[in-house]
Structure 1
Amino acid sequence: MAPMLLNRSKDTLRCRFEFLVSEVGLEPGYIAHRPVMLYYSLEGRLKPRYYVLKFLKENGLLDCDWSFYTAVTRSDKYFMKKCICPHQEAAPHLAEDYAAACRGEMPSNFRFT
């Protein structure tokens, strides 16, 4: 279903897979049916969007139940419009934190209570 994955290094795929299983909590079978998730950058897309979703869910700000797959596969513009912009008042630094996370920096404002 995702032949271009054969061009990726085993280490790259393993790191992404391990993050999706251990940190995000996805089942290996779920990932196998949605291999496109393994295409995306761990530092530039997977982790930042996971941190945003986790922050929003833990603080009761996510009004719909987004799957991680949906969050990862949507364009950055769409993700910003649906997950970041609606929460500017409740979480004013969320856009900045997300941008920093996309650069590989773990922002201090992501607080998981």
Structure 2
Amino acid sequence: MGFDPSKLVFTLAVLVRSGQSKSGWEKKVSVYKRWGWSDEEILAAFKRNPWCMMTSENKIMAGMDFLVNNMGCESSYVAKHPILLFLSLEKRLIPRASILEFLQSNNLIDEKPNLVTLFKYSEKSFLHKFVDGFDEAPQLLKIYREKLNRSK
């Protein structure tokens, strides 16, 4: 599959691949293909982060739906950044997307930040960069907490 056996990701890939039945693997491939991923994109995503083949089909579908249909990501972007599919939709993606939407709709930021960076920030770093520095911080924090509380 093109892995370097001396790298840790090789061991992870072996564990992931051996931990799934052939039909389980094929179901995941089928889900990704429904989103337009080619065999090459699936393999590349697996090589970047083998856990993308351990994520449940429901989580893949929900994550792809949100990222493609709500965030405007290209499906191929998610294939290049499969880490996005592991992050909690309710506890991370939706609350942070609501802050981004507020900032953009109120012209408080000039351009859309890199989504991988936005979603991977620790909560402290995210709040510092996207909430605390704005005059609207109390309103932003309220929006953020409301979205987080809905996930509980």
Normalised TM-score (structure 2): 0.63
Asked if 1:86 corresponds to 2:133, the answer is yes
Distance 1:13 1:75, change over 3 A: same
Aligned equivalents of 2:52 and 2:80: distance in 1? Answer: 14
Aligned equivalents of 1:54 and 1:68: distance in 2? Answer: 12
Q: Which residue of 1 aligns with 2:96?
A: 49
Give 2:145's aligned amino acid. Answer: A
Could you say which structure has the higher helix fraction? 2
Q: Which residue of 1 aligns with 2:72?
A: 25
In the TM superposition, structure 1's runs of 4+ consecutive aligned residues that sit over 4 Å from their partners are none
Q: Determine helix, strand or coil for the equivalent of 1:15.
A: helix
Aligned equivalents of 2:146 and 2:107: distance in 1? Answer: 22
Q: Which residue of 1 aligns with 2:143?
A: 97
Q: Do the aligned residues in 1 keep the contact of 2:98 with 2:143 (CA within 8 Å)?
A: no
Percent same amino acid among aligned pairs?
32
Measured after TM superposition, the shift of residue 6 of structure 1 is 2.3
Aligned equivalents of 2:97 and 2:65: distance in 1? Answer: 14
Give 2:125's aligned amino acid. Answer: Y
Q: Do the aligned residues in 2 keep the contact of 1:50 with 1:68 (CA within 8 Å)?
A: no
Which structure 2 segments of 5+ residues have no match? 1-47
- The aligned length equals 104
Q: Determine helix, strand or coil for the equivalent of 2:72.
A: coil
Measured after TM superposition, the shift of residue 43 of structure 1 is 0.7
- Higher-RCO chain (CA-CA 8 Å, sequence separation at least 6): 1
Larger gyration radius, structure 1 or structure 2: 2
Q: Which residue of 2 aligns with 1:16?
A: 63
Asked if 1:39 corresponds to 2:67, the answer is no
Q: Determine helix, strand or coil for the equivalent of 1:93.
A: helix
RMSD: 1.6
Q: Determine helix, strand or coil for the equivalent of 2:138.
A: coil
Listed one character per residue, the Cα deviations across residues 73-109 of structure 1 (whole Å, up to 9, x for unaligned) are 111110000000011x23532112202212226xxxx
